[in-house]
Structure 1
Amino acid sequence: MSSLRPTPSSRSAYRVFRPIPTRWADNDIYGHVNNVVYYSWFDTAVNALLIERGALDIHAGDTIGFVVETQCHYFAPIAFPQTVDAGIRVAHVGSSSVRYEIGLFAQGADVAAAQGHFVHVYVGRETKRPVKLPDTLQRVLGELRI
């Protein structure tokens, strides 16, 4: 494990953005968004994009994604009532797995307030065993690769 702290990325490092409004309940006692909310934003940004582009059917699709790894680095606080722009890119595509990288930007900011990643392993809905990435998903991932 590297001991070097990463530096925040700029918007230009990401392929697509999704706005996410903060909620009153997202703030903690310290007056900023609680760290666990950032992981929810990662999930929301990626899965909403995949659903919108027809690459993921959460209700009836044969393939579903399981998160098997996640990490986040925090650089600056975000607080309600800010809107967050979640930048998304794909860093690695395997036969059944994908590493998504997400940058969270305060609306209008050029430098990430937080950034991280998560890895989805795609499995059969019934078997819960890894499966080859569906063609539609591979097409969308290709658009997001860095």
Structure 2
Amino acid sequence: MTTKAIHCCGCGLEVAARLTNGAEVYPHRSDLAKLPFWRCDACGNWVGCHHKTKNRTNPLGCIPTPELKAARQHIHRVLDPIWQSGDMERGEVYRAIESRLGMTTRYHTAQIRTVDEARQVYTAVRDIAAENGGAVIE
């Protein structure tokens, strides 16, 4: 059994996450059956992997709770149209988020560990979208 230390937001600590596949975490999705996922067996939450890269089992970030997963998806519904419109480059959007949050490291949605962090990121993204003429989905 392959394990890796990954922060689990549900447990609130680094856990020995177990490498599994989509057949286990998404049994109703045959298209995901062979994709790698890291699962926290203590709480049952999981995170996907960068499966299209050289290191296909590299986790996408920390292991989110269902609530955090939904918050991250909501943020992306506002964030992605900003760079997809061509008004800003994707990297510009991420640097703007970093600047607004006072971050000195690279930002990525997969780093969000709490609902409060998600709210802060959402506020920054919403403001960036509004400043760039985008319609904001609440």
The structure in which a higher percent of residues are strand is 1
TM-score scaled by length of structure 2: 0.29
